[in-house]
């Protein structure tokens, strides 16, 4: 059975109506509100589970994550700017997430993306004055110029490309040895998903594609991306790899992809290449292609 996409399935009700009601928000703290225990952006864990504490009111800024089934408010603390790194997740964090419940990973991912944004956006981008948390943390307001600022989600396209039964995968220099994965890149202002897919593949591999199809999406809180997975077809397999972006790109046969994915299930590297981790939406793209 296909595992859920990591960082989806947050069980909390985001309760938008509560966010804009300061009295209801304040009442949630009194009625057993829970504050997520974090070290900067890292989760504090006990037996592989998130740790929540009951506090009457937070000491610093806190964001409202949502309500559980009992109507209890769940919050997360905004760290200091020096604790809000945008560096990729550590190996230790991945090890910890691997043992966690899917719903808890999703709660943590939402909390990390949101509190990290607050920590890095304390000043107004329009006038430079300090801003204050508003709407339970789903907005920051500038009292000097009246601007409102909203938490960012940066869309990224990630795509598998097919040509006559083979799949195009690439390697970034930062990847683990032998790892190949789907090509990816940020969507630019003024682009549709389909246009971004076509541009990125052409820029990175010199391949023109057609029939771009949406497959799935994944929130990726490092620091605030939304991965949009797509599949596309190429008529001409000739590659011109942009080595400023990719170490390598090549076509893999269905048999090679099957072998690499089967090896990944055993926690091993494949023969032709090492398949992406199951926590990445790229894994789902490859699994989707094999199922078709
Ligand atoms: Zn301002």
Write down the pLDDT at residue 69. 97
CATH topology of domain 154-291: Nucleoside Triphosphate Pyrophosphohydrolase (3.90.79)
- Does position 100 have pLDDT exceeding 90, yes or no? yes
- Measured in Å, residue 221 CA sits from the centre of ligand 1 at 26
Mean pLDDT for all residues in the chain: 96
201 neighbors 238 (Cβ within 8 angstroms): no
56 neighbors 97 (Cβ within 8 angstroms): no
- Measured in Å, residue 125 CA sits from the centre of ligand 1 at 7
- Does position 14 have pLDDT exceeding 90, yes or no? yes
- Does position 54 have pLDDT exceeding 80, yes or no? yes
- Measured in Å, residue 132 CA sits from the centre of ligand 1 at 11
- Does position 86 have pLDDT exceeding 90, yes or no? no
What is the pTM assigned to this prediction? Answer: 0.95
- Measured in Å, residue 39 CA sits from the centre of ligand 1 at 30
For residues 166-183, average pLDDT: 96
**Which protein residues have a CB closer than 5 Å to ligand 1 (ion)?**
124, 126-127, 129, 142, 144-145, 147
- Measured in Å, residue 26 CA sits from the centre of ligand 1 at 26
CA distance 258 to 289: 10
Per DSSP, what are the bridge partners of residue 35?
53, 75
214 neighbors 230 (Cβ within 8 angstroms): yes
Q: Residue 193: CA atoms inside 13 Å, Cβ hemisphere, count? A: 20
- Does position 205 have pLDDT exceeding 90, yes or no? yes
Write down the pLDDT at residue 186. 98
3-class secondary structure per residue, the chain: CCCCCCCCCCCCECCHHHHCCHHHHHHHHHCCCEEECEECCEECEECCEECEEECCCCCCCEEEEEECCCCCEEEEECCCHHHCCCCCCCHHHHHHHHCCCHHHHHHHHHHHHHHHHHHHCCECCCCCCEEEEEHHHCEEEECCCCCEECCCCEEEEEEEEEECCEEEEEECCCCCCCECECEEEECCCCCCHHHHHHHHHHHHHCCCEEEEEEEEEEEECCCCEEEEEEEEEECCCCCCCCCCCCCEEEEEEHHHHHHHHHHHHCCCCCCCCECCCCCCHHHHHHHHHHHC
- Measured in Å, residue 148 CA sits from the centre of ligand 1 at 8
- Measured in Å, residue 142 CA sits from the centre of ligand 1 at 5
- Measured in Å, residue 133 CA sits from the centre of ligand 1 at 13
Write down the pLDDT at residue 58. 86
- Measured in Å, residue 60 CA sits from the centre of ligand 1 at 22
78 neighbors 63 (Cβ within 8 angstroms): yes
- Measured in Å, residue 102 CA sits from the centre of ligand 1 at 39
CA distance 135 to 141: 9
- Does position 203 have pLDDT exceeding 80, yes or no? yes
When pLDDT is cut at 50, 70 and 90, the band that residue 292 belongs to is: confident
- Does position 91 have pLDDT exceeding 90, yes or no? no
Q: What is the pLDDT of residues 230-246, one digit of tens each?
A: 999 999 999 999 999 99
Q: Please tell me which residue, 88 or 71, carries the higher pLDDT value.
A: 71
Structural domain spans, the chain: 16-121, 154-291
Write down the pLDDT at residue 70. 97
When pLDDT is cut at 50, 70 and 90, the band that residue 88 belongs to is: confident
- Measured in Å, residue 246 CA sits from the centre of ligand 1 at 40
- Measured in Å, residue 146 CA sits from the centre of ligand 1 at 6
- Measured in Å, residue 147 CA sits from the centre of ligand 1 at 5
């Amino acid at each position: 059975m296909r595992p859920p996409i990591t960082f989806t399935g947050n069980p909390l009700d985001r309760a938008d109506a509560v966010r804009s009601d300061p009295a209801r928000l304040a009442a949630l703290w009194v009625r057993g509100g829970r504050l997520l225990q974090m070290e900067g952006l890292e989760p504090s864990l006990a037996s592989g589970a998130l740790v929540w504490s009951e506090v009457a009111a937070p000491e610093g800024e806190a964001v409202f994550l949502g309500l559980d089934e009992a109507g209890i408010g769940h919050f997360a603390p905004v760290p200091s700017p020096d604790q809000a790194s945008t560096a990729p997740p550590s190996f230790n964090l991945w090890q910890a997430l691997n043992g966690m419940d899917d719903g808890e990973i999703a709660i943590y991912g939402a909390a990390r993306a949101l509190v990290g944004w607050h920590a890095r956006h304390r000043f107004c981008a329009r006038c430079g004055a300090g801003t204050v948390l508003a709407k339970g943390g789903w907005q920051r307001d500038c009292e000097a110029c009246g601007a409102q600022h909203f938490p960012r989600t940066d869309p990224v396209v990630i795509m598998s490309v097919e040509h006559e039964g083979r799949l195009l995968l690439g390697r970034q220099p930062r990847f683990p040895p032998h790892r190949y994965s789907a090509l990816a890149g940020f969507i630019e202002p003024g682009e549709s998903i389909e246009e971004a897919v076509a541009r990125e593949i052409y820029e990175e591999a010199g391949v023109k594609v057609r029939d771009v199809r949406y497959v799935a999406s994944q929130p990726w809180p490092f620091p605030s991306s939304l991965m949009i997975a797509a599949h596309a077809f190429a008529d001409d397999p000739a590659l011109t790899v942009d080595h400023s972006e990719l170490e390598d790109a090549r076509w893999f046969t269905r048999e090679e992809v099957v072998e690499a994915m089967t090896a990944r299930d055993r926690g091993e590297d494949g023969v032709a290449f090492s398949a992406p981790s199951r926590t990445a939406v790229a894994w789902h793209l490859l699994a989707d292609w094999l199922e078709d």
